[in-house]
Amino acid sequence: MSTRIAKQRSAMRKEPQQARSRATVETIVQAGARVLSDEGWSGFTTNRIAELAGVSIGSLYQYFPDKLSLVDAIRHRHLDDSITVMRKVRADGLPPAEFAAQLVQAMVAAHSVYPGLHRVLLDEAPSSEEYRDPNSEFEIEYLSYYAEAVATYRKRSPNAAYHVAGRMISDAIDGVIHNAARRGAIDDLAMQRELVRLIALYLGETG
């Protein structure tokens, strides 16, 4: 199961408008991610999150009507972090192995901030199929990124076949890194080297 979800209208009670309120929401989301990572779904309560965030329970409910809406915000933050990482690592001018190494290193770093978070998001926290829209803005950009990388190394314009190839790479990265996070082995250097080798070999294939 992927933690990728569609970018759709927020389930927040209200959107923060001022810098102070945005900072409060950010603190709450970060506290929620830490609780999920350290204490699991059973420990993920609004009282615990408010306590860790240093805000009143009323302030939390001002923005999030329940803990499910907060889980959605945490999932969306994970997507934002992932796409930000990807935008910084471009295939142009890099050998396949160097591109793969930079991408894997960056994705591992993004998943290491709260190492236990992804196991909980994958295996414990509830989610809805409505959030897995293959035509979402995020999913289109996410898969197009990999298709463009394939096209760069095959020296052709992106086409339908390269989008399939890009999906293979994205699924490989998601699967390996998320399963490593499940096992508490996200910092396994041997795993990272093999993932880099897999991606580099695939990107270097010209047939």
Q: Do domains 12-65 and 76-204 have the same CATH topology?
A: no
Average model confidence (pLDDT) for the chain?
86
pLDDT higher than threshold 90 for residue 79: no
Considering the domain 12-65 in this protein, what is its CATH number?
A: 1.10.10.60
Banded pLDDT at 157 (limits 50, 70, 90): confident
pLDDT by residue (tens digit) across 168-196? 999 999 999 989 988 889 999 999 999 99
- Domain map (residue ranges) of the chain: 12-65, 76-204
Average pLDDT over residues 122-146: 78
pTM: 0.80
Q: What is the pLDDT of residue 16?
A: 63
Query: Is the pLDDT higher at 164 or at 3?
Result: 164
Instruction: Tell me what pLDDT residue 55 has.
Output: 95
Give the per-residue pLDDT at 131: 53
Domain covering 76-204, topology: Tetracycline Repressor; domain 2 (1.10.357)
Q: Can you tell me the distance from the alpha carbon of 189 to that of 177, in angstroms, rounded to the nearest whole number?
A: 12
pLDDT on residue 27: 95
